[in-house]
Structure 1
Amino acid sequence: MARGVRARQPDRSHPLPLWAQIEGDLRRRMRAGAFDERFPGEHELVAEYAVSRHTVRDALRRLRDEGVLDSGRGRGTWVRTPRIEQPLGALYSLFRSVEAMGLEQRSVVRALEVVVDAQVAERLQRPATTELVYLERLRLADSEPLALDRAWLPRSVAGPLLDADFSHSGLYDELAGLTGTRLTGGSEVITATVPTAATRRLLKIPAGTAVMEVQRTGCLRDRPVEWRETLIRGDRFCVAARWSAQEGYRMDVAGPAPEHGAGAAGR
């Protein structure tokens, strides 16, 4: 078994049922990373624990009911990775959402440079020749790829970011700390899309898995100062809305997303 985390044989003289002992031991092995690459089939578990298939199924059923395990026809069983939740209707931070889940947030900076991009400049209501700070990051949660994030801001606003370390920090935190600028609002379009083969390899997701494409315009006193595009793994991310009798509930339905660029979110 992976990482040498062996099964502990159940004690038949123990008052705890065999299935419960096996369930507890499977949890122990999960925490140790024994099943990071694959989860064993029922026949393997029967042989490892020297119990009946019925006993193994009882243990697995309880783990599935709690959302610890998942399975699919022809795909076997696997350990579920908790989804990272972000709120709708707030200028949120992917950095903070990941850490709020108790996961380690880290970024691999793929680009941090000054560029000129006429299409992005138009989105930011600037001249086509405007110099922009361009930041591209691969966002990781507990060392696993979560999102590919790209952001553009006018150099006149975000120039100091060129000297920032984004390996373990959020763009908005760095922007506030280095320039004193805090965005005051913005808008987003979120769609589900099929990633390219290159994006699948980068995010380490299998064929057939969708990604969330988020395109954001961040504003400072109603003037656009950020254009962001992020592709987020659909199997590890969801958005959430809240409502109350006092404030009600609102979800806007957007039209087709602009054709420029890939997708965006994350801070």
Structure 2
Amino acid sequence: MRAAPVDRQSPVPLWSQVQDDLRARLSRGEFDAVFPGENALVTEYEVSRNTVRQALRGLRTEGLVTAERGRAPRVRRAEIEQPVGTLYSLFASVEAAGMTQRSEVRVLDVRADGVVAARLGLEESTPLLHLERLRRADEAPLALDRVWLPASVAAPLLDADFTHTSLYGELADRTGTRLESGHERIAAQVPSGGECRLLECPPRTAVFVIERTGFAGGRPLEWRQTVVRGDRFALDASFSARGFQLGVASS
């Protein structure tokens, strides 16, 4: 859809007219793929660069776009917040943010993995259920999620449809097992080429790599690695006068 022409006879400033039209086009999802640069907007609206910059300044203040010096403006997507120190579900966090979540199941099978089995305190040849999903929020890629659980417990999950449901909900419904606690290690990393393509990461976007061991009955039951786009994810923590402690892991 083309830009609405500015009215040079109107008492409304040109930057405000451009800003209003860009806001309307953003609400229609016109720039979900790419947001035009300053030069393109100058040509499209037939206004000066200063007018465009003033219009973008307002959109940036509203949190609709990012327009940093030396970088092309980008649509700012809502962040998914995860609480620190609780056993959370990414499914629930996406829904709580008012977004629609959907998963593309890439792998759902039973296999042996000696490294993961050791993390779960099991013999290396122990059969493990492995689930790999590309998680989407409002259809945009958010995370690549890889989970392993002992097949002796999780085999009933092989028949589950994980396109729009949570692992923990299915685990409870189908096996009667509920995770009670967990331990996580979170690190910022540069994504691999394959991860970058799957997550459709913008240039120079880092990812969070979250490694979680989940416990049930005092024993490790789940090992999970989640690679999350850093531009769509935030960690949230509360603390009191009694203190809050974060561990710093060596690289």
TM-score w.r.t. structure 1 length?
Answer: 0.86
Aligned partner of 2:194 in structure 1 is 198
The 5-angstrom pairing of residues 232-247 of structure 1 reads 232-245=228-241
Asked if 2 retains the 8 angstrom alpha-carbon contact of 1:200 and 1:207, the reply is: no
Structure 1 runs not aligned, ≥5 long = 258-267
Report the count of equivalent residues.
251
SS in structure 1 at match of 2:67? strand
Cα 1:160–1:50 change in 2 (3 A) is same
**Residue from 86, 101, 109 that aligns with 2:105:** 109
State the partner residue of 2:174.
178
Deviations 1:173-214 (A, max 9, x none): 111111121110010000111221122112112453221111
Which residue is 2:249 aligned to? 255
| Matched ranges for 1:1-267 at <5 A | 5-12=1-8, 16-245=12-241, 248-256=242-250
2:118 aligned partner, one-letter code: E
How far apart, CA to CA, are the structure 2 residues paired with 1:187 and 1:109? 25
Alignment check: 8 A CA contact 2:6 2:18 kept: yes
CA distance in 2, matches of 1:84, 1:39: 21
Q: Secondary structure at the match of 2:73?
A: strand
Structure 1 contact 149–231 (Cα < 8 Å) conserved: yes
Compute the displacement of 1:63 (Å): 0.9
TM-aligned CA distance change 1:108 to 1:250, over 3 Å: same
Q: Secondary structure at the match of 1:76?
A: coil
Any unmatched runs of 5+ in structure 2? Answer: none
Q: Which residue is equivalent to 1:260? A: none
- SS in structure 1 opposite 2:99? coil
CA-to-aligned-CA distance 1:46-73 (integer Å, 9 cap, x gap): 3433444433322111111222211344
Per-residue CA deviations over 1:89-125 (Å, capped at 9, x if unaligned) read 0101111111222222111111111111222222112
Q: Is the 8 A contact 1:109 1:136 kept in 2?
A: yes
Query: Relative to structure 1, is the Cα distance of residues 176 and 55 closer, same or farther in structure 2, using a 3 angstrom cutoff?
Result: same
Between 70-79 and 138-147, the greater mean CA deviation after superposition: 70-79
- Give secondary structure in 1 for the equivalent of 2:223: strand
Q: Output the aligned Cα RMSD.
A: 2.0
Deviation per CA, 1:29-48: give whole Å up to 9, x if none.
Answer: 01222222332233433343
Identity, % of aligned pairs? 55
Are residues 8 and 206 of structure 1, via their aligned partners in 2, closer, same or farther at CA, if it must alter by over 3 Å?
Answer: closer
Change over 3 Å in CA distance of 1:16–1:180 after alignment to 2: farther
Shift of 1:20: 2.4
Distance, in Å, in 1 between the alignment partners of 2:192 and 2:166 is 26
Assess, with a 3 A threshold, how the Cα gap between structure 1 residues 154 and 49 changes in structure 2: closer, same or farther: same
Distance 1:47 1:209, change over 3 A: closer
TM-score under structure 2 length normalisation: 0.91
